[in-house]
Amino acid sequence: MSISNLINKYYDIIILGRGPSLRNFKKKKNTIVISMNFSKTENITTDIMFKNNKLYSLKNSSNINLKNYSNYRNGSVYFGLLNILSYINSLKENKRIHLYGFDFRKYSEDDDIFKKKRIKNDRDSLQQIIDINTQKSVYNVIKKQFKHLKIKKIGPDFESDFKKVYQNKKNSLEIISEFTTNHQGDTERLIKLLDYSIQSKCKTIKFQRRDVENFYSKKELSRKYLTPISKNFFEYRKKLELTDDQIDIIKYYKKKYNLKVIFSALDVKSYEELKEEGFKYFKIPSTISHHKKFIQYLAKQKSALTYISTGMTDQKYLNFILKLFRKKKIVLMHAISSYPTKFEDINLNILKKYIELSKDNKNIIPGYSSHDIGNLASMLAVGMGAKVIEKHIKIGVTDWMHYDDTALDAKFELPSFIDDLQKIYLSLGDEKKRIYSFEHHKYKYIKK
């Protein structure tokens, strides 16, 4: 039987690396096992072995060269796992992949179950660390990009996929993909951002809308503003606004994928137009924190939930918001209006204050609007108790766009951002103290 036919017989495929987490592996029925550079251990017998960029059947003499399947070099070596996944995906059969022994760690011979030591000197050691960390980065980028594969990495570390779910679905973490105007007024770009958000398992997306002619002064609109899409500021802002056709696309995606859509409406006209289109979730961004009359107008409207950013505001503004929305359900979002925000300036203890407010007032939900680079501040915010996290997203780098540096790449960075935050949220548990079935003492038989 050919290797392709052998693989296609099974839905569950196990791929074994050589890291310490391989010790957790126990073969189950109706699975096929592929090993990386070994054929068996004391407790494991494999079906297919990967070696020298080939797959060898250990049941017969068949083999296949994977040279033409994502033949990428990571550091000083080829990333064999990527080749194997690319090959299995090319068979166009839906599969569930289980990875054991892929710890992406190599600091000593103990990080290899066979105690293989290929480090001859400090330079080799550094190169090996580069190789392993490159593989880890590549894996995190590509793991959700195989159309026919569901990939799970098994292990006890944070990088592995979690099996257990402790959270109450009614109180689940909300992660918002903030498009701002990073669609650049381009329909194709808008659709890509929507598709990447959905692929990343993001269920809440956010946009902005303003009446350009009346939101800015005539002097501001007429000033010179040279970009690939504009010669003055009016032309720039106008081309970034969503068209009616683009609004229809958003409504189509909202219905098809059951998305929650939030808008920052910066003026009465924009708000009323969006309400007529059927949108019911709105945010008061820090951009309009000094537009008190408009905020008072919004507080009088019927709204399922209002998101309020507190970037570039003080305690006086916070008191104003708390009094104005005292009978309304709001998400009170800590933010620093600096793009990007230096990590030393994020001041997450403000979030602690909002969490305390939420304990006394069930209408308040604490959140964090992230303008810092990367995932860590948002992960810390979730650990502190934030229930809503907002992050700007983009496609590639556009140096003439506002705040481009603070946004995540929707295709390559958003998936791991959402994964990391969900893992942090799940790891918080349910606050119920109990003994778990998987707990044990190191020494079973000791004198009492």
pLDDT tens figures, 244-292: 999 999 999 999 999 999 999 999 999 999 999 999 999 999 999 999 9
Residue 403, domain member (yes or no): yes
- Report the candidate in 311, 375, 384 with the shortest Cα–Cα distance to residue 352: 384
- Per residue in 295-349, pLDDT (tens digit) is 999 999 998 899 999 999 999 999 999 999 999 999 999 999 999 999 999 999 9
Note the pLDDT of residue 398.
84
Same domain (yes/no): 126, 191: no
- Residue 167: what pLDDT? 45
Q: Which of 66-70, 121-125, 126-130, 315-319 has the lowest mean pLDDT?
A: 121-125
Q: Are residues 278 and 332 in the same domain?
A: yes
Q: Give yes or no: residues 226 and 315 share one domain.
A: yes
Looking at the fold, whether 127 and 230 belong to one and the same domain comes out as: no
Shared-domain flag, residues 216 and 85: no
Instruction: Report residue 374: phi and psi, to 5°.
Output: 90, -165
Domain count, the chain: 2
Percentage, residues of the chain above pLDDT 90: 70
305 and 398 inside one domain: yes
CA distance 34 to 32: 7
Whether residue 227 is found in the same domain as residue 369: yes
Structure tokens at 49: 């072995």
Q: What is the pTM of this model?
A: 0.87
> Does residue 260 belong to any structural domain of this protein?
yes
pLDDT above 60 (res 169): no
**Domain housing 24:** 3-153
The pLDDT score that the predictor gives to residue 114 is 63
Asked whether residue 423 is assigned to any structural domain, the reply reads yes
Residues 179 and 139 reside in one and the same domain: no
210 in the same domain as 122: no
Confidence band of 399 (pLDDT split at 50, 70, 90) = confident
Same domain, 298 and 402: yes
Q: Which residues of 228-259 are buried (b: 16+ CB within 10 A; e: fewer)?
A: eebeebbebbebbebeeebbeebeebbeeeeb
Say if residue 108's pLDDT is above 70.
no
The greatest distance separating any two alpha carbons of the chain, rounded to the nearest whole angstrom, comes to 84
pLDDT at 104 over 90: no
pLDDT, averaged across the chain: 90
Are 123 and 97 members of one domain?
A: yes
Of the residues 153, 177, 207, which one is the last residue of a structural domain? 153
Same domain, 218 and 306: yes
CATH number at residue 241: 3.20.20.70
